[in-house]
Structure 1
């Protein structure tokens, strides 16, 4: 999830664990600690693109990280804080750390909660920025913060924020199931043969859902809003995996395919190969759009080694997408 959401979650969890003991400091430390797992983005400056993608939401988003670093942070804090109970501080940091990847596991990218096992939990039920999750949560955290630490209202407001946000998170599974059945029924009605289907919410909401469907030679992309009145339409995108040629045996190519779980297409423009990760869709809802959210140039040098270069996103595409989303959410 985005940084603001993780700050709010960290503050609320911190308040729930140590709010009675240290007051608003619990929210402050919780908010700061809630962002620590995302420091893994620093790896972008030291390793190649593929390695950085593999590392993202890996070790720092794991149960192992939470267990190891909670007592370390607790020891550091008790060196200067008046409240010296290192066991309570360890418990505090553990819950702030572990709830971060648990929330991230609901997004499309997911987390390696059980690192070093190569298992990435990705429930794909919520977009990384969802105002319906974050804003009510933020309001109740602020309301709690304004109360005295011994006030019953403080505990009540914080608890309400945690309950509402958690219930919404559970509700997204219901939304996902409904959307999944709609896509499944549409494929059956249109007699489309497929091998796999993957669904995810569109940006900033859980009303409009997207689906990737794998067929023999192509992937289909489709959208469904709960306000739709017309049948779902499926847009094909040829796999074009054959364009890789012998590069299919390259270690970096194999690693990238593993990262995208096989949901990728290859395009060739002016003799340049592009790797398109389908898991996150496109920056447009118009048919036959080609501006994938994550698209990489496959560069080869004279020695035959490969590098992936992410294609820069156009800010205008983002603005256009927001407009398209608003129209599409209202139904087809």
Structure 2
């Protein structure tokens, strides 16, 4: 999830855990602990570009690390706040701030290696990485906590904000189940034999949903709005097995296969080779010249072919938002 949301969530969780003891200092500890797991993004900048992406939401988001860090950081906080909060209480604050960070990330599409060192990444794919309607109750709770000196009232505001934000996550799960049913119904009606189906929300909303469908020969991409009145339409993209054979021994390609969880599409344009992550959709509607939200170009270096992420221009994001706003109104 975005940094602002994780900071606010961390503060609210810290208030519930130890607000009575730490008072206004929950803002400092909650903000730091709420964003701590995402420091792997900064660490990743010292690695190869693809290795940096592979590192994100790995060990830094693992339950094992939290169990190891909680007593260490808890001891540090208890020493800093000597006589204010004990070791056990401080350790619990650390654990819950870190753990709720990852619980929220589980609802997004990226995937979180909660049970590292096991390689599986968990992703419910029910909410976009930025969703103002999830963050809003937490922000309101934070403002009320800041303005209220009474410890009992502060705790009530914190709990209520967590209740409402959690209800929104539950709502996202229910809407996703409905969207999945609509896609499955459309695939059955169109007599499409498919191997896998993933469904995820588009940016900033729970109204417009995207689907990736894996078939024997390629992929189908489609979208569905809760306001749609017309049947769901899918666009077909071939797998390009010939290009895959050219890269089958390339280390970066193997890493991108892991990162994309197998949902990738190889393409060639003007002699340049690209690996596109299908999980995050398209920036345009041109099936002959598709532009994906996350794409990696293979460039020739002295060490061989290396993958670098294709930078996204500001106009790409603006065009995508305009497309989403228009499409979510239904067809």
Distance in structure 1 (CA, Å) of the matches to 2:137 and 2:283? 28
Q: Which residue of 2 aligns with 1:324?
A: 323
Gaps of 5+ in 2: none
Q: Which residue of 2 aligns with 1:180?
A: 180
Q: Secondary structure at the match of 1:23?
A: helix
Query: What does 1:1-332 align with in structure 2 at a 5 Å threshold?
Result: 1-82=1-82, 83-150=84-151, 152-285=152-285, 290-301=290-301, 305-332=304-331
Distance in structure 2 (CA, Å) of the matches to 1:176 and 1:257? 25
Cα displacement (A) at 1:149: 4.0
* Two-structure CA RMSD over aligned residues (Å): 1.5
Give yes or no for contact 2:199–2:209 (8 Å, CA) kept in 1: yes
Cα displacement (A) at 1:320: 1.3
For structure 1, which segment, 62-71 or 160-169, has the greater mean C-alpha deviation from structure 2 after superposition? 62-71
The C-alpha deviation readout for 1:3-58, integer Å capped at 9, x for no partner, is 01101110110000001112121232112210010000123322112211221001
Give yes or no for contact 1:19–1:27 (8 Å, CA) kept in 2: no
TM-score of the superposition, structure 2-length normalised?
Answer: 0.95
Cα displacement (A) at 1:287: 5.3
Cα displacement (A) at 1:243: 1.3
C-alpha change, 1:289 and 1:6, in structure 2 (3 Å) is farther
Give yes or no for contact 1:222–1:232 (8 Å, CA) kept in 2: yes
Give yes or no for contact 2:137–2:162 (8 Å, CA) kept in 1: no
The C-alpha deviation readout for 1:275-320, integer Å capped at 9, x for no partner, is 01101111235655611111011123455x3311111101101111
Give yes or no for contact 2:253–2:307 (8 Å, CA) kept in 1: no
Distance in structure 2 (CA, Å) of the matches to 1:272 and 1:75? 53
Distance in structure 1 (CA, Å) of the matches to 2:285 and 2:141? 35
Distance in structure 2 (CA, Å) of the matches to 1:163 and 1:92? 18
Distance in structure 1 (CA, Å) of the matches to 2:287 and 2:161? 40
Gaps of 5+ in 1: none
Give yes or no for contact 1:19–1:149 (8 Å, CA) kept in 2: no
C-alpha change, 1:84 and 1:173, in structure 2 (3 Å) is closer
